[in-house]
Amino acid sequence: MSRFVSAPGEGREPGLIVRQSSPLNLEYPFSTLDDFLVPQDRFYVRNHFPCPRVERDGWRLKVGGEVARELSLGLDDLHALPAVTLPAVMECAGNGRVFYEPAKEGLQWANGAVGNASWTGVRLDDVLDRAGLRDGAVEVVLVGADRGPVDGGKKTSSPGPIAFARSLPLTKARSDGVVLAYAMNGEPLTPDHGAPLRAVVGGWFGMAWVKWLAELRVVSRPFLGYWQARDYFRWDRSFGEPILVPLTEMEPKAQIARPVQGGSVEVGRPTRIFGAAWSGEAPVAEVAVDTGEGAWRPATLLEPATEHGWRLWEHWWTPTAAGPCQLRCRARDAAGRVQPETPQTDRESYCANWVIPVGIRVVPAAQSAEPEFVI
Ligand SMILES: Nc1nc2c(c(=O)[nH]1)N[C@H]1C(S)=C(S)[C@@H](COP(=O)(O)O)O[C@H]1N2
Ligand SMILES: [Mo]
């Protein structure tokens, strides 16, 4: 049990669960979910290296590679471009890793390496338009300002300190769902979340959302950097022989925020089962709930429905019998993908989106505290 939740007050930043203190990695306590937007100071933090010191004054974004014009953009240049605001959910590909059995290497995230925020910035497409792409351009590499040594066991060609970098194919990079954001929930980005500028990649796992952007490099061959080819990959069998491919899209997932694992509910009392659901490129179409009978019943999807934001949902249930009970939920996306019942064996230590039951106890109704007759 202690593998899954930390005891109240144990090793927490205000309200967050510390998964690693250096570099800082903080988990959102998903059981506290209330609103469509998770406040910036409650949002999970995933860092591979110490947060770099980036001064707002003098900061420039370099745009180079296969472009017609190299650019060096300051924050004023970005603020002069049309601003867009996009609600989008970001899930770390390692979210839920703690549920793998036997345990897998990596930070032992429970279900709070995910959050939904409203991001404001400029479309990556608008920046690429200003630079102009040369023929043969296929991807944009997004390079962060943070750097450090990486796991030599993974045969990196550069054992020395390297920057965090990931690429996006041009079709994705130029879509409406990709924004270079300077604000989160209407506030300037904080250093933990990538100030002064980070990528927002709607529908994709968090590793693509590069923080502390320093450079955009347009390339004519697929990028095979460390976080693209030696980390954050999975096996793909759609070509027959399995090949390793970089992780991209999130997979459908619904999580229960409340009741919590180990909690109790009363016989005969209407109980709200409440959570959030998200998916990759195709939106969530349905969330279903099983209250222990092995029957899936549709949950109610709550407002708002957005292109890339998560969907809060609820299901009201009145338990009829006392005893232990396993609550389950699962999401289906508009492309027909449904959460599997068991782990997918080719996802390495990522994409933990199989149905994970929440064990609770149904207890007899509490006796009324007020005596019925006063003698
Ligand atoms: N430059 C940089 N960008 C990064 C990372 C990083 O370590 N360095 N971590 C990535 C990962 S794995 C995730 S899940 C998200 C987390 O973003 P957050 O800390 O704002 O929640 O940022 C991504 N962008
Ligand atoms: Mo991540």
Q: What is the CATH number of the domain that holds 340?
A: 2.60.40.650
- Per-residue pLDDT, 307: 97
Question: Per the structure block, which two tokens stand in for 213?
Answer: 């952007």
First-to-last alpha carbon distance for the chain, in angstroms, is 48
Residue holding tokens 């929440």?
358
Together in a domain, 238 and 257: no
Break the chain down into helix, strand, coil percent, rounded to 5. Answer: 10, 40, 50
Strands 45-46 and 24-27: antiparallel
CB of 213 closer than 6 angstroms to any ligand 1 atom? no
- Residue 275 in any domain: the answer is yes
Together in a domain, 148 and 175: yes
Distance 157 CA to ligand 2 centre (A): 22
- Residue 1 in any domain: the answer is no
- Residue 342 in any domain: the answer is yes
Name the residue of 25, 46, 114, 228 whose CB sits within 8 Å of the most ligand 1 atoms, as the mutation to test its pocket. Answer: 46
- Residue 217 in any domain: the answer is yes
- Containing 199, the helix (H) or strand (E) segment is strand 198-201
- State which amino acid sits at residue 325: C
- Residue 221 in any domain: the answer is yes
Residue nearest to ligand 1 atom 11, measured at CA: 207
- Residue 8 in any domain: the answer is no
Q: Which atom of ligand 1 is nearest to the CA of 93?
A: 14
Distance 320 CA to ligand 2 centre (A): 41
Residue holding tokens 């590069």?
210
- Residue 231's nearest CA partner among 122, 107, 126, 131 is 107
Together in a domain, 275 and 242: no
Q: 184: exposed, middle or buried (C-beta count within 10 Å: 0-12, 13-18, 19+)?
A: buried
Together in a domain, 291 and 145: no
Together in a domain, 131 and 83: yes
Q: For residue 228, what is the DSSP state?
A: I
Last residue of a domain, one of 189, 216, 246: 246
Phi/psi for 23 (5° steps) reads -65, 160
- Per-residue pLDDT, 159: 64
Together in a domain, 238 and 260: no
- Per-residue pLDDT, 345: 86
Together in a domain, 225 and 277: no
- Per-residue pLDDT, 369: 53
Q: Which domain holds residue 346?
A: 253-367
Together in a domain, 260 and 214: no
CA-to-CA distance for 154 and 361, rounded, in angstroms?
A: 45
CA-to-CA distance for 92 and 30, rounded, in angstroms?
A: 14
Last residue of a domain, one of 194, 222, 246: 246
Mean pLDDT per 10-residue interval, the chain, length 375 residues: 34 76 96 97 96 92 98 98 98 97 95 98 98 98 95 68 96 98 97 97 98 98 90 88 92 98 97 98 98 97 96 98 97 98 92 97 78 56
- Surrounding residues of ion ligand 2, Cβ less than 5 A: 46, 92, 206-207
- Per-residue pLDDT, 145: 97
Question: Per the structure block, which two tokens stand in for 122?
Answer: 């400029």
- Residue 194's nearest CA partner among 178, 214, 217, 219 is 214
- Residue 374 in any domain: the answer is no
What is the tally of structural domains in the chain? 2
- Per-residue pLDDT, 12: 40
Together in a domain, 158 and 231: yes
CB of 147 closer than 6 angstroms to any ligand 1 atom? no
- Residue 50 in any domain: the answer is yes
Together in a domain, 295 and 336: yes
Together in a domain, 137 and 172: yes
CA-to-CA distance for 231 and 217, rounded, in angstroms?
A: 20
The answer to whether 287 and 299 are in contact (CB under 8 A) is yes
- Per-residue pLDDT, 238: 86
Q: Which atom of ligand 1 is nearest to the CA of 213?
A: 1
CB of 210 closer than 6 angstroms to any ligand 1 atom? yes
Question: Per the structure block, which two tokens stand in for 80?
Answer: 């002069």
Together in a domain, 62 and 126: yes
Name the residue of 16, 43, 45, 47 whose CB sits within 8 Å of the most ligand 1 atoms, as the mutation to test its pocket. Answer: 47
CATH code of residue 112: 3.90.420.10
Last residue of a domain, one of 246, 277, 307: 246
- Residue 323's nearest CA partner among 267, 251, 257, 283 is 267
Distance 47 CA to ligand 1 centre (A): 6
Phi/psi for 10 (5° steps) reads -85, 115
Distance 144 CA to ligand 1 centre (A): 10
- Residue 319's nearest CA partner among 341, 292, 340 is 292
- Per-residue pLDDT, 299: 98
Residue holding tokens 């180990």?
262
